[in-house]
Amino acid sequence: MISEQQVLALLDSAGYAGQNLTPTPRSGGDIHHSFSLVDRETQEPKFFVKVNHSEHSRVLAGEYFSLQQFEQLLPCAYPKPLNFIASDEICLLLISHHTLGPMPAEAAASLGELLAKQHQITHSEFGWQRNNHIGLNLQHNDWTQDWQTFYWHQRLLPQLNQAIKNGLSRKEQLQISSIGANLDMYFGDYAPEPCLLHGDLWAGNASFDSDLQRPLLYDPAPYFGDRETDLAMTELFGEFSRSFYEAYNATLPLHADAERRKPLYHLYHALNHFNLFGASYLTLVRDQVKRLDDF
């Protein structure tokens, strides 16, 4: 457990001692500890921090880098990255504070338009400037020309290898290996473009900024990849509102065969959750494998 005193000491060591900040713990998140930094005099929140032990410093450093990229490429869509600070014991990511609330239908439509705008930022190859993390698991991002090669070697295969170490059965191993050997069958005439992805877009990573009256995305695990992966992820743990999908498709329509690739893209996150949180996610893995086998 990381204490408020540890957070304050690290902030003080980085030059924030004169700002009269009090760390207030916030709930939410399975990976990091979260705090609002509140002004002691006004009791107004000034910053938000994500904190973890120093062994996970690369995770938060990677998110800091990603938020810096989003600030340049898509201003105001994500929290503003303010600092990354690390000691021998803990590390923290300092970002702008936002008051989050329920998302109105019209804001969900704006979120769909925002994501479509983000997906129109493209690259010549699939990958990212550096490796990052999906949860606490390493996400490889070496630049690659071909999407199927990238998705198998840098997404599914690393998760499969980790799942084998975590006890995935021989049957599932062979089934997923077969899927990887036959990826082309799921694509037909569809040639994905390297689009700027959020990378971990479920309902817990999108909200509504009630002060600024606009949608906000956060906790990204970005790279340039097939935009269908972001849309598929929005449906894995409960769907976004209909207005979100309608606005997205009105701005940037999906390929006619996008539905057939959803379990392929769900499989990556299902394996990741199995590797992070254990056997309770094995059924989710098996469900995706079955859907792909039935294709």
Query: Residue 30: pLDDT band by 50, 70, 90 thresholds?
Result: confident
Q: Which of 233, 243, 294 is nearest to 266 (CA)?
A: 233
C-alpha 119/C-alpha 109 separation (Å) is: 15
Residue type, 149: T
Question: What structural domains does the chain harbor?
Answer: 4-97 (3.30.200.20), 101-293 (3.90.1200.10)
- Phi/psi at 149 (5° precision): -65, -45
Q: Which of 69, 73, 66 is nearest to 50 (CA)?
A: 66
Which positions are annotated as active-site residues?
200
Contact between 63 and 53 (Cβ < 8 Å): no
Contact between 203 and 238 (Cβ < 8 Å): yes
Provide CB contacts within 8 A for 191, sequence distance 6+. Answer: 147
Provide CB contacts within 8 A for 242, sequence distance 6+. Answer: none
Query: What pLDDT, in 10s, does the model give residues 198-245?
Result: 999 999 999 999 988 999 999 999 999 999 999 999 999 988 999 999
Query: What pLDDT, in 10s, does the model give residues 103-134?
Result: 998 999 999 999 999 999 999 999 999 999 99
Instruction: List the structure tokens of 30.
Output: 């399975």
Query: Residue 29: pLDDT band by 50, 70, 90 thresholds?
Result: low
Q: Look at the alpha carbons of 165, 168, 174, 179 in this order and tell me if their dihedral is positive or negative.
A: negative
pLDDT the model gives residue 28: 65
